[in-house]
Amino acid sequence: MFDVGFSELLIIGAVALVVIGPERLPRVARTAGHMLGRMRRYVDEVKAEIDREAALDELKKLRGEVMDSARELERDMRAGARQMERRFRLDAEPVDARPENAPAEDDATAARP
């Protein structure tokens, strides 16, 4: 963020000593340190909140994709189950219920060479 070297800190300290005075300088330095710490914690909290929101958005997006995949899988499974049920019903029909021109199984196998 700021690139402050040792020489800059010495200049700031000397100016603060002259302007504020030696008796109030420790209290001002302590207050400035506390405020700097609060500011850093606040910035860290904001960063963490932004990261949590980004992760939450990503999880919501992933949840939507998983739900879509689950719905598609369910739809495919139901379609397959209906198709199998239709096949079983056709295979389970009694011979008498078949149309007259449909060959019986014995006739169909006998007609093959």
Domain ranges of the chain: 7-90
pLDDT digits 0-9 by tens, 25-72:
889 889 999 999 999 999 999 999 999 999 999 999 999 999 999 999
pLDDT of residue 103: 56
The proportion of the chain whose per-residue pLDDT surpasses 70, expressed as a percent, equals 80
Any residues with CB less than 8 A from the CB of 17 and at least 6 apart, and which?
25
pLDDT digits 0-9 by tens, 94-108:
656 555 655 555 554
Q: Are 46 and 38 in contact (CB under 8 A)?
A: no
Q: Are 104 and 95 in contact (CB under 8 A)?
A: yes
Q: What is the mean pLDDT of residues 83-88?
A: 88
**Residue (of 90, 95, 113) closest to 105 by Cα position:** 95
pTM higher than the cut 0.75: no
